[in-house]
Amino acid sequence: MKSEKELYPDDTMTAQERFDAVVRLETPDRVPLSLMLYYYAPLHTGTPMSQYMTDPRAYRDVMHQVWEEIGPWDIYYNINPYSRLMYNYVMMMRELWPGIELEENAMAKIDEIQYMDTDDYDLAMKSYGLYADMIFRMRMLPRFSQEAEGKGLMKMAFTLFTHALRQCRFWRDDFKWWRKQGAVVQIGYQAEMPFDTFSQARNVINFSMDLFKQPEKIRQAADHLARNFADTAILSARLMGAPTVQCYCHRTSNSFISPQQFADLAFPSMEMIVNRIVDAGLTPILHCDGDWLRNLKTMRQLPAKKVIIQLDGLTDIFAAKQEIGDHMCIFGDVPAAKLATGTPSEVEEYCHRLIEEVGQDGGFILAGG
Amino acid sequence: MDAHLNEPLTVFRRAFLDFNIDVIADVTDKMLAVGISTRQFLDTCTPLMGQIGEKFEKGEYFLPQLVMAGEMFKTASTRIKSAMPDDASGDPIAEIVLGTPRGDIHDLGKDIFAVLAEASGFAVHNLGVDVPPATFIERLSETGASILGLSSLLTTTFEAIEEIIRLLEQKGMRNNIHVILGGGATEQSLVEKLGVDSQTRDAYEGLNILKALTGDQAKGAVA
């Protein structure tokens, strides 16, 4: 389970010890680094994006080559889906993939379609409690996933089960390689949170209207799915052999909803999920896209020194450090635009500022935004 | 304002500011029944959008309120336009060509910006998503628009944006077109790096850029 190897001569901690220390908000020997280079990697190796996205072994080999050529770094940011169906199941978004709907070397793109109606909050609430999240996802999949079209619930369940087993076997094998190199595997399970799933599935325009017309129903439906979301995450992360759960919160920031709506409608299910994952001894990573600054006060109710908050450059990370840096580990946030167009010295300067200010006294993981 | 319009207009204003979208269509029909003109409708709507925009700017309102205001405006204006297709609403303050350049298919921010701009008196030619650079140039030439809005959530659009700027220069159009770049993947440094004129991450701030460009002509949502 643990990576034991030290990565650099001056290191006094392994990557795993460093990761564990920053989650506990302790000061590590140096700030750990997670490289979000899954879209850069095939460009680096000259692998067609279509092959990289559709063949998990090609993805694995590309990432291993990148590690050999530009590594080491501390944390392997693993996306690597076994199939697009698995990816659709966890992310609950319609994706266009290179070599299928897009040209060979295009980046995968999210196709924002509405696939949920107002009545479907009731459908979510009627899903059998112990398996509510799984059942809801399987009911929605044929509405948006190209891989699920025409499949009934039973056939869908069987296909997903076999893909999940293959994903598990594949990841477990691959993770051994990464640990042998001395890296920490970042993600044991990943999925879009229930509240955010509703926002994506309804689309922002309709979801905004739902927030006015039936806010309580949204909260109740998200709460109903929360327990099974957490239980699936815990079981999956354990089976995969990595004790972390990446929870995607693409639509819960103040870029989409007010701090009050967050506190009243989104936070209850988030709190249930996070508490359950923490109680199981795992670390939740809240992938918080957008501007979260005014939500952070509410998030102080989550367990201290147990959670990672991942920011994408739209939250003022320096203000976030003041607001919540004594409560949860901060992850981020070199903006994509800076990495794409900035000079090496501009990027270096920003990274130094992050390390010195956000990384001061620990509790920080340096990464892309 | 004519006295007989007062009551339906008061009801419309109240419904609009209460975000009571379910009654907007009926209230609009009542305004039409008492003979409201397109101009009078716009003169009513734009200050309402302005009040909501101001609260958004102060951090009292958030995206859902902006979206609701946009949807209510669309509902009412569609009914009024279809009831009085020939009624003049006056010349637009300015024309804007808008789109998400090739490499990205996100459209949410762009579409919210479009609705807010239309509600403020601008004519918007929305080209959609994944738009090739040459299409922007063609549309600018056809319409004579002086503002180009480019929306980007992904850095994969940057190459297309540079190509758009190159084409504008090649065609001798660059000095006459103000290029606004908007979206989550953007930051201020891109103004210089990509050769655009302004940058914003939110739709409402985009309207303020339009205000600065068009001076006092802009009303309503442009507070």
B189 and A338 within 8 Å at the Cβ level: the answer is: yes
A337 and B104 within 8 Å at the Cβ level: the answer is: no
Do strands A109-111 and A329-334 pair parallel, antiparallel, or not at all (unpaired)?
Answer: unpaired
Task: Give the sheet arrangement for strand B123-126, strand by strand.
Answer: B123-126, B95-99, B147-151, B178-182, B198-200
So what's the pLDDT on residue B83?
86
DSSP-derived secondary structure letter, B101: B
So what's the pLDDT on residue B1?
59
B62 and A258 within 8 Å at the Cβ level: the answer is: yes
Residues of B in contact with A111 (CB under 8 A): 105
Nearest CA in chain A to B64: A208
Nearest to A337 among B19, B155, B202 (CB): B155
So what's the pLDDT on residue B88?
66
Q: Cβ of A122 under 8 Å from any chain B Cβ?
A: no
pLDDT band at B216 (very low <50, low <70, confident <90, very high): low
Residue B87 has pLDDT above 90, yes or no: no
What is the greatest pairwise CA distance in chain B?
Answer: 56
* CA pair distance A356, A248, nearest whole angstrom: 27
Q: Cβ of A114 under 8 Å from any chain B Cβ?
A: no
So what's the pLDDT on residue A1?
44
So what's the pLDDT on residue A4?
58
**B214 Cβ neighbours under 8 A, 6+ residues apart:** B93, B94
Our CA-based measurement puts residue A256 at a distance from the nearest CA of chain B, in whole angstroms, of 5
Residue B180 has pLDDT above 60, yes or no: yes
| Residues B31-36, mean pLDDT to the nearest whole number | 91
Three-class DSSP labels, chain A = CCCCCCCCCCCCCCHHHHHHHHHCCCCCCCCCEEECCCCCHHHHHCCCHHHHHHCHHHHHHHHHHHHHHHCCCCEECCCCCCCHHHHHHHHCCEEECECCCECCCCCCEEECCCCCCCCHHHHHHHCCHHHHHHHHHHHHHHHHCCCCCCCCHHHHHHHHHHHHHHHHHHHHHHHHHHHHHCCEECCCEEEECHHHHHHHHHCHHHHHHHHHHCHHHHHHHHHHHHHHHHHHHHHHHHHHCCCEEEEEECCCCCCCCCHHHHHHHHHHHHHHHHHHHHHCCCEEEEEECCCCHHHHHHHCCCCCCCCEEEECCCCCHHHHHHHHCCCCEEEEEECHHHHHHCCHHHHHHHHHHHHHHHCCCCCEEEEEC
Residues of A in contact with B156 (CB under 8 A): 107
User: Between A and B, how many CB-CB pairs are < 8 A?
Assistant: 76
User: Which residues of chain A, if any, have pLDDT below 70?
Assistant: 1-5
pLDDT band at B217 (very low <50, low <70, confident <90, very high): low
B64 and A254 within 8 Å at the Cβ level: the answer is: no
Enter the pTM of the model.
0.90
* CA pair distance A192, A190, nearest whole angstrom: 7
So what's the pLDDT on residue B154?
85
A340 and B158 within 8 Å at the Cβ level: the answer is: yes
pLDDT band at B84 (very low <50, low <70, confident <90, very high): confident
- B interface with A, Cβ–Cβ below 8 Å: 19, 21-22, 59, 61-64, 67-68, 71, 104-108, 154-156, 158, 184-187, 189-190, 193-194, 201-202
B19 and A212 within 8 Å at the Cβ level: the answer is: yes
Residue B220 has pLDDT above 50, yes or no: no
Of B47 and B150, the one with more pLDDT: B150
pLDDT band at B222 (very low <50, low <70, confident <90, very high): very low
Under 8 Å between Cβ of B5 and B36: yes
A257 and B104 within 8 Å at the Cβ level: the answer is: no
For the segment B123-178, what is each residue's pLDDT rounded down to a tens digit?
999 999 999 999 999 999 999 999 999 999 888 899 999 999 999 999 999 999 99
B63 and A208 within 8 Å at the Cβ level: the answer is: yes
B63 and A205 within 8 Å at the Cβ level: the answer is: no
| Residues B62-77, mean pLDDT to the nearest whole number | 91
**B82 Cβ neighbours under 8 A, 6+ residues apart:** none
* CA pair distance B195, B189, nearest whole angstrom: 10
Residue B112 has pLDDT above 90, yes or no: no
Residues of A in contact with B192 (CB under 8 A): none
Q: Cβ of A43 under 8 Å from any chain B Cβ?
A: no
Q: What percent of chain B is predicted at pLDDT more than 90?
A: 61
B104 and A109 within 8 Å at the Cβ level: the answer is: yes
* CA pair distance B129, B118, nearest whole angstrom: 19
